Amino acid sequence: MSTDKTFCIFGDSVTQAAYIEKSWVDMLRIYLEKKYSNDFINVFNLGVGGNTTDDVAKRFKFESLMRTPTDIIFAVGVNDSGYFRTPDKPIVSEVNFDKNITSLITEAKEFTGNITFVGLVLGDDSILKPFPDSSQGKSYKYERVEEYNRRVQEMAQTNSCRFIQLFEKLKPEDFLDGLHPNDQGHKKIFEEVKNHF
């Protein structure tokens, strides 16, 4: 019996991956289409460069209502963990980050029980203080990404959502610029993600 499956994948530039030929989302789409060859598979890449959980929370319900997902994947949080030149000026504070993740889980459960969080990744943070392409002095620190990753994992597991651990799975050589995974990095993300679908 054929069933429709609609995957909505919300994230940032690593999800959108306009900078690379074949992203982890592209690879996942191909994998799912082959695995569920008797089903109608929709995979929507809803990644937007620069997005934080603040941004995803604002657009989540509208974008989901348009697509009625059977599966929701969140891959967001690295931008939240960043800061403007000094760590006391966070892009999204830990408190607001927790609120956003909790809100996203609550709203996602209105659509489906199949909710997945993809863990955070970061390369060589010594070249990210600040990130060279940022005009605002956006900076990233390995320890902060690790802390935000821990928070996502804890909230996902507390709320019976799947969590895919990626932290420490990627190495500095898996990144183009310390922040964005290269071809090899995207392949590693895909290999971890596919095992859960």
| Tokens found for residue 107 | 């709203």
pTM value is: 0.96
Structural domain range at position 165: 4-194
Q: Residue 176's closest CA among 50, 9, 21?
A: 21
Q: What is the dihedral of CA 165, 100, 107, 115, to 10 degrees?
A: 0
What's the domain count of the chain?
A: 1
In angstroms, rounded to a whole number, what is the distance separating the alpha carbons of residues 151 and 165? 12
Bridge partners of 84, per DSSP, are 138
CATH code for the domain of 26: 3.40.50.1110
Question: What kind and span of H or E run contains 7?
Answer: strand 4-11
The pLDDT tens digits of the residues spanning 20-72 come to 999 999 999 999 999 988 789 999 999 999 999 999 999 999 999 999 999 99
Tokens encoding 181: 């995974």
Q: Is the pLDDT of residue 2 over 70?
A: no
* pLDDT digit string, tens, across residues 124-171: 999 999 999 888 999 999 999 999 999 999 999 999 999 999 999 999
